Structure 1
């Protein structure tokens, strides 16, 4: 029986082989000192390195390098590739001193020689084993940071870890939240002026009160912490900002946490020594439940500016007052100096979930302009005087269901946009879907959290393409001064990759159809296309080694795209068989990739299956709250985790129990659900067997055609 369980368990792997490997060698580390690294992180630096998630403090995702340009990009070719084990590959790499560093899987850092692709060392923090219930949300690290010879990564279980960039050995580790708290880290840390800052996620699944924490980059000593929403007034307020924010809440909001987590977007304005936070949704989403439908609920869905030395509040701009749709403001924020109406303005730009592109004065937080970059039917416009949206009637779904665009997936998700100071344009990986919200029968009195990191929003919702829509997303080139579109390229899928712009007049982006493209930054004309033989979500980077410019991107599907598997099904992305690779390009590259084997989901054999409608419906409810976040809606996976309609382990009750209840695959990234009893898990199995039967039927029909 033991060998049978092991064999079946292998079919349900979620996390891959995230095991430490012996260091092959050390990495050469440039000794620039703190002042040197401050210079490399400024937006005007030479571009030979890419030391942060967005390259520089201003998060522009722009490389000034122009050796690869619109005139010769047709000669761009693959120099080397490096295969990765199973796990999340959708992470932004960095490059420093001729070494590429990235954290694939669950924050497993690898150092790779940028010119040759030789693996130098691997550091594995063993995050799945340490995460407990936190493993039920999040998918691993989206990125890392570099400062003065050290790398910084956040882990699912809440550690912020500094690693020696030369040897891969841990320097220090700080626990950023309690081990039993229902929070997790998936976003990249940011470094600034000898400090490192990190937030966390969790407000979609637990009564979380968001905050960020800054640490000394050399020692890991905590320097300051800023909460993004107020707590219980009876316990006092940590700052005047929290006392001010509390006046915008109603009822006993603190019992539900409030939300406002900073799970992704943090930008440092070095000129003013300000940290800008992009805050998330409320906990729960539904404003009626969270705050009696009253108040703006600061600082949800806002850009909040803090003094970088002390963490003290300076200003804020709230994108969605009284937010109730998961229109969070946690998407990347780019800094720029723009000439607007003849005046040079220091601005922060962002394209949050709600579909409007914002240009905000970063010296005071005042709105300069905001216009829609996709179709937006939830609001008529953003009032320039008040900065508030003019909402469409009924969009708050308090009396009846309502359908509108965009959706909780966002008009722009975490894959970053890019700003080119050269072209003056912003390039946005836009999403074009619609959603129906329905809160019928949901009240403050009957609301409760599902507990132990289960998705809980306080409203029912359905995300889907609009009627007759073949296009689910775009690459949009946006003029931030005129607030108008310059060009737009339609995409067949909704979850396209992060964007990089370059001084060579190029825009690079990957796609779920396995293509990696370079476009003319001015016209949008496709200039180069590479068959990556795997979906690409991660943002690309560019850097210089020994006088040669390289472009690197990590291929493979991961993170939140998997939740909407039905919309990715046409691309044939399979968790078990998809390639996960580091791909590095340069002019004259001649390397090749092995062919991609076409994939079509095939249901597992289940000769003893008998439908049970009651159990299947009960199992569907559990699956949607607990499992779909990784395994996909309607049990159709998008590549983030296995498609359980194809897993033989589902047909075997003992194997299924061992994996799901007993946690046989925790080390591989599959959470343990020991709080679910036999009846509950049998109902989930009944639902999955039903979905597999439907797949067998549809497969037989296709074969008969």
Structure 2
């Protein structure tokens, strides 16, 4: 009887809570029609309706209540703690008093934009096997009362914006493939467009798919690289692309995934795709003999209604360095030789800033924004890069700037039509590529890995990379100002009509810069570092600025270079912070940055060198993406050198293979055998005890110097 009473009371409380949430949501939202006209409206800054605010993807707001003078009064209005979300590297949208965002494994949240109260949460329940990619969601889309999110397991999901109930879902991938989704969908003309990632993890042929926004029915699909010609080509573009490949690319997949950048152009009714790297990276394996390998590392224009090819511009022909063009593409009107031109502004990984004519895809200009050693310049007559001799590592080794992390990565830039400047989170970091002994006849993806280069097993020191916030003039292709930022990765950028540029930093500060000079005008502690891009919106005549903060994303791979900031995923906050003029809310308690990992060991554990070598490969293929290169955690997952769990076989197997900590974000690796786990345990003990001698450090430095000298000699033509 008592149980029935308690159960009944609990149900009444739950029902009341649901009703209250619905009431609050109804009060907060009038749900103006978010449609084609709204997403094309650059003048209305009240809402932030899409990944880049509007179709142009400029990440610029016309709001100006917070400006160069008033920004000093900016304070915290409210925060929402997100302790159960491991990754918040995402851009929210703000629609009529509600902030929507997806965090972790694409869990959608609706939050009252005035108060920070959670209104509803929808968990799509990601397939545990696809949780291993560990990137999380980078953004969502909104269209006519529905929120759209790509789930890491390959599903595209539509959720009712008022209730948080599932409207429809569809699987965009294929059973058992390596595809996953981290990027934001785009909506236009009643369609929702989504791509995928996966080219770095094995055989994947890239494509994008458009679905009916109301029903989820597939409208069209466009492949980025050709398939098996014996099966016929899907369209003339694929037949054209096939002529730029050698060998049997369809057996390797080819790559070219569209995992981030997709921009809709309402002027020409086109979609611009930013395509990814080849699979494998090493071109000599996927296309022996070379070739441009269309449409890798390209900007491709498609008809938005039919998905038919219109034009393309390839930023890195025959790419072999992971120089994908999946970075955001911004639409703008820029004066060129005294005439206004409708252009695409694009800063891909390869270190050049491109201005491309939107009407015909012709290159207008391209200049370096960072240290670039793989190419001297881009020839404006041919539109092709002039490569440096020796930059390609066919059967040898090369050190190249930039490296696979790029001079600009997924963290979006912003363009201000007020200043005419693009604001770019830029990076300086080399890449080391070693293909010695790897040929099409000898390559074993299970042994060397799917990239086609030897795996990198050394820690990445703090000195390996740096970052900056760069103000760049696309019209003149000149740097206007550059401000150093902490570490090797800066957060996404927002610019405003108030003359400000906002960016979250790896050191845990949220900073406002003068858009004209770069001077720092204001900053606030976030309690943790962030990569997420901020947004701004207006409610009841008040301007707000919002940003998600939490340590995760690609920087977790980079060992000490990332770990230097002291953020650890399970120890430090994940939160949404919203600022307004004269905000008085105190920052919630935040753990101080951690020091170096406290290594644990068992002297009785006898390390077997043969098991270490095998364990190094097993760790590299399964563990690096979360636990860091060389077992030096970058801050997302625990440092396994400091964990007592690997000291004993049984609990290690229970967690790694059997999924004992799946609820805390650790997916099961059921395919790993006892000998695999034992080898990893030996590798971790070797790493825990490893202390490079002075001579080893000198040898490593000498090795890299030799590589650089060989590259320079090749550039001069003194060696082949």
Is residue 126 of structure 1 aligned with residue 125 of structure 2?
Answer: yes
Cα distance in 1, alignment partners of residues 640 and 462 from structure 2: 29
Equivalent of 2:389 in 388, 393, 404: 393
How many correspondences in the alignment? 671
Cα distance in 1, alignment partners of residues 267 and 692 from structure 2: 61
Equivalent of 1:487 in 464, 481, 488: 481
Q: Deviations over 1:579-630 (max 9, x none)?
A: 1110000000111122432312222353533333322222122212221111
5 Å-filtered alignment, 1:171-570, equals 171-450=167-446, 456-460=450-454, 472-570=466-564
Cα distance in 1, alignment partners of residues 41 and 685 from structure 2: 53
Deviation at 1:226, TM superposition (A): 0.3
Deviation at 1:364, TM superposition (A): 0.7
Show the counterpart of 2:10.
Answer: none
Q: 1:555 to 1:655 in 2, by over 3 A?
A: same
Is residue 597 of structure 1 aligned with residue 592 of structure 2?
Answer: yes
Assess if the C-alpha contact under 8 Å between 1:23 and 1:121 holds in 2.
no
Cα distance in 2, alignment partners of residues 247 and 104 from structure 1: 42
Deviation at 1:64, TM superposition (A): 1.1
SS at match of 1:432: strand
Show the counterpart of 2:8.
Answer: none
Q: 1:515 to 1:468 in 2, by over 3 A?
A: closer
Which deviates further from its counterpart, 93-102 or 601-610? 601-610
Assess if the C-alpha contact under 8 Å between 1:23 and 1:167 holds in 2.
no
Cα distance in 1, alignment partners of residues 45 and 643 from structure 2: 46
Cα distance in 1, alignment partners of residues 135 and 85 from structure 2: 12
Equivalent of 1:669 in 650, 665, 668: 665
Cα distance in 1, alignment partners of residues 602 and 43 from structure 2: 60
Deviation at 1:557, TM superposition (A): 1.2
Assess if the C-alpha contact under 8 Å between 2:461 and 2:559 holds in 1.
no
Show the counterpart of 2:81.
Answer: 83
Show the counterpart of 1:18.
Answer: none
Show the counterpart of 2:70.
Answer: 72
Show the counterpart of 1:577.
Answer: 571
Q: Deviations over 1:323-355 (max 9, x none)?
A: 100000000000001111011101001110000
Q: Deviations over 1:300-319 (max 9, x none)?
A: 00001000000000000001
Cα distance in 2, alignment partners of residues 369 and 462 from structure 1: 35
SS at match of 1:410: coil
Show the counterpart of 1:101.
Answer: 100
SS at match of 2:445: coil
SS at match of 1:615: helix
Cα distance in 2, alignment partners of residues 187 and 23 from structure 1: 33
Cα distance in 2, alignment partners of residues 696 and 290 from structure 1: 36
Q: 1:466 to 1:473 in 2, by over 3 A?
A: farther
Show the counterpart of 2:3.
Answer: none
Cα distance in 2, alignment partners of residues 399 and 24 from structure 1: 65
5+ residue gaps, structure 2, are: 1-16, 694-720
Equivalent of 1:615 in 596, 608, 611: 611
5+ residue gaps, structure 1, are: 1-20, 698-705
Deviation at 1:31, TM superposition (A): 3.8
SS at match of 1:275: strand
Q: Deviations over 1:388-433 (max 9, x none)?
A: 1000001111253111200001111111011111111000001101
SS at match of 1:80: strand
Which deviates further from its counterpart, 357-366 or 631-640? 631-640
Deviation at 1:41, TM superposition (A): 1.1
Assess if the C-alpha contact under 8 Å between 1:433 and 1:466 holds in 2.
no
Cα distance in 1, alignment partners of residues 446 and 457 from structure 2: 21
Deviation at 1:37, TM superposition (A): 2.5
Assess if the C-alpha contact under 8 Å between 1:24 and 1:119 holds in 2.
no
Assess if the C-alpha contact under 8 Å between 1:138 and 1:185 holds in 2.
no
Assess if the C-alpha contact under 8 Å between 1:514 and 1:531 holds in 2.
yes
Q: Deviations over 1:535-591 (max 9, x none)?
A: 011000000111110000000111211111220121101121011110000000111
Q: Deviations over 1:447-497 (max 9, x none)?
A: 23339xx95210136599999958611110000000000000112311110
Assess if the C-alpha contact under 8 Å between 1:434 and 1:465 holds in 2.
no
Show the counterpart of 1:15.
Answer: none
Deviation at 1:647, TM superposition (A): 2.0
Is residue 154 of structure 1 aligned with residue 150 of structure 2?
Answer: yes
Cα distance in 2, alignment partners of residues 696 and 398 from structure 1: 30
Q: 1:637 to 1:423 in 2, by over 3 A?
A: same
Superposition TM-score, scaled by structure 2 size: 0.90
Show the counterpart of 2:32.
Answer: 32
**RMSD (Å) for aligned C-alpha atoms:** 2.2
Cα distance in 1, alignment partners of residues 459 and 684 from structure 2: 25
Show the counterpart of 1:113.
Answer: 112
Deviation at 1:181, TM superposition (A): 1.5
Cα distance in 2, alignment partners of residues 56 and 491 from structure 1: 27
SS at match of 1:81: strand
SS at match of 1:562: helix
Cα distance in 2, alignment partners of residues 22 and 259 from structure 1: 45
Q: 1:422 to 1:31 in 2, by over 3 A?
A: same
Structure showing greater radius of gyration is 2
Q: 1:466 to 1:186 in 2, by over 3 A?
A: closer
Higher normalized contact order (CA 8 Å, seq sep 6+, divided by chain length): 1
Deviation at 1:269, TM superposition (A): 0.4
SS at match of 1:215: strand
Which deviates further from its counterpart, 638-647 or 541-550? 638-647
Deviation at 1:658, TM superposition (A): 1.1
Cα distance in 2, alignment partners of residues 400 and 150 from structure 1: 51
Assess if the C-alpha contact under 8 Å between 2:571 and 2:591 holds in 1.
no
Q: Deviations over 1:65-109 (max 9, x none)?
A: 100011110110001111112411111111100111111110001
Q: 1:393 to 1:462 in 2, by over 3 A?
A: farther
Cα distance in 1, alignment partners of residues 637 and 289 from structure 2: 37
Show the counterpart of 2:698.
Answer: none
